[in-house]
Amino acid sequence: MAAANVGIAPMKAAQIPTAGADFQIVEREIPKPGAGQVRIKVQACGVCHSDVFTKEGQWPGIQFPRVPGHEVAGVIHELGAGVLAWKLGQRVGVGWHGGQDNTCPSCRRGDFRNCRNLKIPGISYDGGYQQYMVAPVEALVPIPETLTDVEAAPLLCAGITTYNALRHSGALPGDLVAIEGIGGLGHLGVQFASKFGYKVAAIGHGSEHGDLAKKLGATVYIDSKSANAAEELQKLGGAQAILATAPSSKAMSELIDGLGPNGKLMVIGAAFDPIEVTPVQLITGSRSIQGWAAGTAADSEDTLRFAELSGVRPMIETYPLEKAGEAYARMLSGHVLFRVVLTM
């Protein structure tokens, strides 16, 4: 086993002691990687809305205390036994996909994204709201040198989710693609859609994000507060794909009639109330609705490389680890433009 000099100083971590409790800044022993794992010295970790599953104990089987965080960027600090393909000091990231069992029916078919026993950093094991973390090698993503840690972190969840959903939507360059919501996911979705060569219709609730949406690459901005967004999309010929990023089932339901023939509503905004749609809406025009989760480490690598090549970057606010609770509250407030990142 290869190892860096750790010393005896403990590390700081922001943990949730029990479901629904406030963040605690605590000192912990620096963890040791097991076989097939590495220890990462965390440089930055994004604060994602999905961290609510940890904070409020909403994920089945989650154990406490738990350190959240699944948008991790850092460097390899120690290699566990049997790790050969990664090097000490190498820049790596870890996203939502934190490992798979390799034995379930999905994994046996190579569909690791839908592993029945998917591991998620910050839920299945302690995540990136700490100075050092341990992760299995199948979760690791190499970070391109031209991306900073702060830039890379949000791309490992918000970035891969929008990038991967768009590239599996069936839309081709030149097609009309709508991005619903200009927030943490949507502002990246607009950029990726533009770089993919789509005609991009950005949909927001209010006029305040119109100029920004066009600056990010939108061809047209639709204010759903003052216009019927579905009707506006039909005036443009109907959308081949609509990427629903805002967690509002009502807003998603209202957009289905904006799909063109064979159009697809790609759902990535996590909401718990039902999407309302009639069979006739789907039958007419052969429309469809598909949910999409993030993707594997290989998908994250594709996302980072494309962002490096195309210039797609997240808009961020940074907070020190010690202010994890404040950063989390800022993320939940909806006032942040557009991703919150903890720095170590």
**pTM of model > 0.85:** yes
Please give the span between the terminal C-alpha atoms of the chain, in angstroms, as a whole number. 26
Do the Cβ atoms of 250 and 194 come closer than 8 Å? no
pLDDT at site 295: 94
DSSP 158: I
Give residue 224's pLDDT. Answer: 95
3-class DSSP state of 325: helix
| pLDDT recorded at residue 18 | 97
pLDDT at position 119 is 97
pLDDT tens sequence across 226-241: 999 999 999 999 999 9
**Domains within the chain, CATH numbers bracketed:** 11-157+295-343 (3.90.180.10), 169-291 (3.40.50.720)
Give the pair of three-digit tokens for residue 135: 């992760």
Taking each helix axis from N to C end, the angle separating 297-310 and 160-167, rounded to the nearest 10 degrees, works out to: 90
The segments of the chain whose pLDDT lies below 70 read 1-9
Buried/exposed code over 155-170 (b: 16+ C-beta within 10 A; e: otherwise): bbbbbbbbbbbbbebe
Question: What pLDDT is recorded for position 6?
Answer: 45
Query: How far apart are alpha carbons 78 and 37 in whole angstroms?
Result: 9
pLDDT per position as a tens digit, 1-59: 444 444 456 999 999 999 999 999 999 999 999 999 999 999 999 999 999 999 999 99
